[in-house]
Structure 1
Amino acid sequence: MARKTNTREHILDFIRTFRRDNGYSPSVREVASHCGVKSPSVVQYHLEQLREAGLITKDKIRSRSIGVVGDEEGPAQVPLLGVIAAGQPINVPSREKPNAGDQRMIDVPRDIMRKGRQLFALQVRGNSMVDAMIADSDIVIMEQADSVNNGEVAACWLESEQEVTLKKIYYEKDQKIRLQPCNPYMLPMFHDADNVRVQGRVVAVIRLNR
């Protein structure tokens, strides 16, 4: 007969799964809720026992600081799918997703890998976004999205031009979209809304050694 999983093992398994799925540690209350423990103080007791057993690490002051000993703490990885223009739009040779074996992978902090978040990387070409701290040759980490809020930095596919560009997006009157560079020497671009397809929003910028 299989041995029933005890509360402490249940807590440890939940912490490990939560960290893998969300990129950060659960709170004590989240542990209590998921594991069916009524009192946070009881969770604290089990966490202390796990810490003394050398199975977890925990900062007594900082919240969401539970770590699982032996778990991979290195960076996560996202695929680098190509180049995007921060300047005038550029042609994209192929919009088809490349084979996984052909993709270069980019290291990213695990704390941006929230559950369900689909991320990819693009390398920037041009200097139209320098005032947004995005320079030529930087890597932008994008979250897949088909819409963004007014003023967000987005990767936009221009249907009629068959080109892609990285700009701040603003929704204007009369079904127009303004793609705004963050460079005082460059002018905005105006397009009909049906000509612009949002592909993702910027969630992080990585500056490579140059």
Structure 2
Amino acid sequence: MLTRKQLELLDLIRTRMEADGIPPSFDEMKEALDLKSKSGIHRLITALEERGFIRRLAHRARAIEIVKLPEAMERPGFRPRVVAETPAPPAPPRGAMPVVPVHALELPVMGRIAAGVPIEAISEVSHHVAVPGSMLSGQGAHYALEVRGDSMIEAGINDGDIVVIREQNTAENGDIVVALVEDHEATLKRFRRKGGMIALEAANPAYETRVYPDHLVQVQGRLVGLIRSY
């Protein structure tokens, strides 16, 4: 089942592709759906892709294929249209090792997250990163963040790594989460609830555990994957 905004975006893409042969730009999508930033559009597109309604063509701007439509939106004679054709790959040289295809999805990298002292929350997409589909957890929306700092090194998370986050607003004790502190600072820490307080624990003895009243901490997502930077 799609949310109202997801349906609105899918209908907008469908209408523009039927009329003009190309989908709308992210700016046009943002304006049409009355969203404040393009990060919201990235999340809606990712959700539609994960649910199998659209497919993005890698390395091509504004290249979206509509794979299917919900029953309520189907029209007689509708056929998916592809923007920007992908050329067939050249034949491999004789004796080359076979290439095994790996299912991957492009996730928006929403900027940098502090694994140290909290930094200002980031809501704008800086770029995209290809992530193996097997790394994604469940059917929810996912996004990625670049780690800055060393407070989570004993959890295997180093400065410069990319963390894959499943978007959710709840967490279990022991989960590594993206936490929004006092509505403006974001940090990557291990989550602990103690009565009416939330402890954000580092995985480095050089950093102290920070404890806040639970109403000052909002869980923005849970760590589900890691891409190492060498």
Instruction: Give the drift of 1:74.
Output: 4.4
Asked if 2 retains the 8 angstrom alpha-carbon contact of 1:91 and 1:163, the reply is yes
Asked if 2 retains the 8 angstrom alpha-carbon contact of 1:21 and 1:115, the reply is no
Q: Does 1:128 align with 2:157?
A: no
Q: Provide the C-alpha distance between the structure 1 equivalents of 2:113 and 2:119, rounded to a whole number of angstroms.
A: 7
Q: Provide the C-alpha distance between the structure 1 equivalents of 2:137 and 2:202, rounded to a whole number of angstroms.
A: 29
Following TM superposition, where does structure 1 have runs of at least 4 consecutive aligned residues deviating by more than 6 angstroms? Answer: none
Which amino acid in the other structure matches residue 172 of structure 1?
K
Partner of 2:110: 81
Partner of 2:190: 168
Q: Does 1:198 align with 2:227?
A: no
Q: Does 1:152 align with 2:175?
A: yes
Q: Provide the C-alpha distance between the structure 1 equivalents of 2:206 and 2:137, rounded to a whole number of angstroms.
A: 37
Residues 49-94 of structure 1, C-alpha deviation per residue, up to 9 Å, x if partnerless? Answer: xxxxxxxxxxxxxxxxxxxxxx9634221110111000000113x5
Q: Provide the C-alpha distance between the structure 1 equivalents of 2:157 and 2:177, rounded to a whole number of angstroms.
A: 12
| Larger-Rg structure | 1
TM-score (norm 2): 0.54
Asked if 2 retains the 8 angstrom alpha-carbon contact of 1:21 and 1:114, the reply is no
Partner of 2:139: 116
Larger relative contact order (Cα-Cα within 8 Å, sequence gap ≥ 6) = 1
Higher mean displacement: 162-171 or 113-122:
113-122
Q: Which runs of 5+ in 2 are unaligned?
A: 1-49, 53-99
Q: Provide the C-alpha distance between the structure 1 equivalents of 2:137 and 2:164, rounded to a whole number of angstroms.
A: 13
Residues 140-175 of structure 1, C-alpha deviation per residue, up to 9 Å, x if partnerless? Answer: 000001001101000000125x210000010012x1
- Count how many residue pairs are aligned between Structure 1 and Structure 2: 135
- Which of the residues 207, 213, 228 maps onto 1:186? 207
Q: Which runs of 5+ in 1 are unaligned?
A: 1-19, 23-70
- Which of the residues 160, 163, 166 maps onto 1:137? 160
TM-score (norm 1): 0.59
Q: Provide the C-alpha distance between the structure 1 equivalents of 2:129 and 2:119, rounded to a whole number of angstroms.
A: 22
